[in-house]
Amino acid sequence: MTGQELSAFLSRHRITLIVGILVILFAAMGFFGYEKYQRHQTEKAAVLYSELVDTMVQGQTSTARASADTLIHQYAHTPYATMAQFFLARMDMESKQVPAAEKSLKAVIGNPNAPRGMHSLARLNLARLYVDQHQAHKALDILQNPQPAYVTVADEIKGDAYASLNQISQAEKAYQSAMAALPAADPYRTYLQMKIANIGVAP
């Protein structure tokens, strides 16, 4: 293409070219602007989460609850919102607000953006809640196929669930399975042995 042909081409298509360049520029500006906004949101959520932890330590539960609610509703796409759900569940469990605690834990389990480990922790906490509420069958249902990292805890809670159902052999089997996953010198084995003794099984 000669210089004259190039000039003619640019002249004929100058509007299309200008529009195309503007689209690319606006797209780039939008991307980097959104990325900056997301980073800013995460930083604000981190500060608020730190305040939540501090107020929890100080026993200021009403302030902590308000911070958790803000994280969940205004910073839902940050990991801090998921952690705030755990704090709410803990506060509700301690204050015997079982339906509210169950709702918070189920929110974590049902959140597709939450890390898989968070899903597992929420399931374990929910199973423990069900055992404490004498709903052992629900606990056993939710403990199916735990992640390998959480098998020991899951087996222990299964043992507690079976014990509450007076299914002694199943409870012992679950406790023994939990013990088998621990190193021989792990002091937690003693705690599990006490649980086995408490259901009437000789060591």
Per-residue pLDDT reduced to its tens digit, 45-94:
788 878 877 887 788 888 888 888 888 888 887 888 888 888 888 888 88
The candidate with the shortest Cα–Cα distance to 164, out of 125, 123, 199, is: 199
**Is it the case that residue 133 has pLDDT exceeding 90?**
yes
**Is it the case that residue 193 has pLDDT exceeding 80?**
yes
Residue 8, both tokens:
């003619």
40 pLDDT tier (thresholds 50, 70, 90):
low
Strands of 44-190 (E only): list them: none
The pTM of the full predicted model, rounded to 2 decimals, is 0.72
How many residues in total does the chain contain? 203
Q: What average pLDDT does range 139-151 have in this prediction?
A: 90
**Is it the case that residue 200 has pLDDT exceeding 50?**
yes
4 pLDDT tier (thresholds 50, 70, 90):
low
